[in-house]
Amino acid sequence: MSNNNPQTQHWQDLSSAHHLAPFSDYTQLKNKGPRIITKADGVYLWDSEGHKILDGMAGLWCVAIGYGREELVQAASAQMRELPYYNLFFQTAHPPALELAKAIADLAPEGMNHVFFTGSGSEGNDTVLRLVRHYWALKGKPEKKVIISRVNGYHGSTVAGASLGGMPGMHEQGDLPIPGIVHIAQPYWFDEGGDMSPDEFGVWAAEQLENKILEVGEDNVAAFIAEPIQGAGGVIIPPDTYWPKVKEVLARYDILFVADEVICGFGRTGHWFGSDYYDLAPDLMTIAKGLTSGYIPMGGVIVRDEVVNVINQGGDFNHGFTYSGHPVAAAVGLENLRILRDEHIVDNVRAEAAPYLQKRLRELLDHPLVGEVRGLGMLGAIELVKDKATRSRHEGRGAGMICRQFCFDNGLIMRAVGDTMIIAPPLVISHAEIDELVSKARLCLDLTLEALGG
């Protein structure tokens, strides 16, 4: 693609000369250069060439209230003037972090009243690993160390986050997972359900948790960690039988349950947390992304009272980050939560936006390339297939990548996970913008089908 704006080339040159990008194909990036995003408003982005793009991914799942909210800018600048930085180490604290902890506790499930702040979701899951092991050690069971996670789960990109996650491509690089983390099957019926019905498969996948607990030994297991809905794995909505059965298993064994709410938290499912939607009653919840609508980095872990009571008797917890509870991030988070609450955004997702998005998305099921459309709240997935009945793929053709490129070129950001197209638009997307998203998606499915040879 040739550039209209000479600045584009300048920035692409800087990219190739000086920047190492996260999660990018380096060979491709070197040849082609990145698309340069220069501004945003509402649900739209603009690139340096002046193209307007509907952001069907809310950035990376995070821009819940949409771009361009002046209130968050004001909150950040006011806090920068008052107290731009101080830490929460060594018996100090500051008002924004404490006010935000209270605001989060007010929204969290019953009995979860404390927050440990971090700079990101990955740091949140590192904190989870440290915290759950510390908890069991204090309870006199230091051998309870193993954390059970799921294949194709995503829990971040630090060493603990990537280890807890079940992404083979991430494990290959850097000799992961670290010891003490084991993985079980994911509840991904479309790709892995075989001849089972979704309900049968959901029970089977939940039973893998019990099998693993028995294999490792209950006395060695600290926790099970899972996203209520796997996001980066491909917006995998578990079969209806999955979570009820997992809850049954968890009730039989003395292990902690960690819900990674980094995507599901703060309204994405039409409830404050995915754990509310599925009634999961976790012991810990990892949060980030929607907490600040991505305007500034922040994450954390919400911890159940019972766990807090134990660690409160344990003296030092030797863990924390320079930017834990950063005052500017906390001020932005507080204002973001105020907007989500006062503008009834989560209620509106549940009552209006999500039902409309889900209804419109499912219309794509009549497309010859589409084997399944699934979704919940403001999350959606479209499975690209060769044969609808057998759920077989256009093997080795890169259908997802082809579709993603057509989307980009036609003013829509949809992400591809293999041959699964996924969306997670800002929670504030209007019906007219949903119409635009769905019609652009259909156009790009047509173009993809054509490129694959019909």
Ligand X SMILES: *Cc1c(COP(=O)(O)O)cnc(C)c1O
Which residues here bind ligand X, judged by CB under 6 A? Answer: 120-122, 125, 154-156, 227, 231-232, 260, 262-263, 288, 299
Pick 33 or 119: Cβ nearer ligand X: 119
- Tokens at residue 51, please? 């193209």
What DSSP character marks residue 107?
H
Residue 203 or 284: the one with the smaller Cβ distance to ligand X is 284
Question: In the complex with ligand X, which residue's Cβ is closer, 222 or 285?
Answer: 285
Q: Which among 256, 267, 252, 265 has a CA at the least distance from the CA of 303?
A: 256
The least distance separating ligand X from the CB of residue 123, rounded to whole angstroms, comes to 7
Beta carbon of residue 289, minimum distance to ligand X (angstroms, whole number): 6
Considering beta carbons, is residue 204 or 243 the nearer one to ligand X? 243
Q: How far is the CB of 153 from ligand X (least distance, A)?
A: 8
CB 196 → ligand X: shortest distance, Å?
A: 26
Across-strand partners of 37? Answer: 47
Closer residue to ligand X in complex, CB, 156/375 = 156
Give me the DSSP letters along 243-292: HHHHHHHHHHS--EEEEE-TTTTTTTTSSS-HHHHHT---SEEEE-GGGT
Whether residue 441 contacts residue 364, with contact meaning beta carbons closer than 8 Å, is answered with: yes
Residues contacting residue 176 through CB under 8 Å, at least 6 positions apart? 159, 162, 163, 170
Backbone dihedral region for residue 59 (phi beyond 0: left; psi -120 to 50: alpha; all else: beta)? left
Q: How far is the CB of 165 from ligand X (least distance, A)?
A: 8
> Would you put residue 140 in left (φ > 0), alpha (ψ -120 to 50) or beta?
left
- Whole-angstrom Cα distance, residue 74 to residue 71? 5
Please, which residue, 65 or 229, has the CB nearer to ligand X?
A: 229
Judged by beta carbon, residue 148 or residue 232, the one nearer ligand X is: 232
Half-sphere exposure of 435 (CA within 13 A, CB side): 3
For residue 395, count other CB atoms closer than 10 A to its CB: 8
> Closer CB to ligand X, residue 23 or residue 90?
23
Rg (CA), the chain: 22
Rounded to the nearest whole angstrom, what is the least distance from the CB of residue 273 to ligand X in the complex? Answer: 12
Provide the minimum distance between the beta carbon of 164 and ligand X in the complex, in angstroms, as a whole number: 9
Q: Which residues, 6+ apart, have CB-to-CB distance to 368 below 8 Å?
A: 449
**Residue (121 or 202) nearer to ligand X, CB:** 121
Q: What letter does residue 365 receive in the DSSP assignment?
A: G
At residue 82's C-alpha, the angle toward residues 77 and 88, to 5°, is 105
Report the candidate in 237, 441, 277, 434 with the shortest Cα–Cα distance to residue 425. 434
Question: Least distance to ligand X from the beta carbon of 233, Å?
Answer: 9
CB of 161 to ligand X, least distance (A): 6
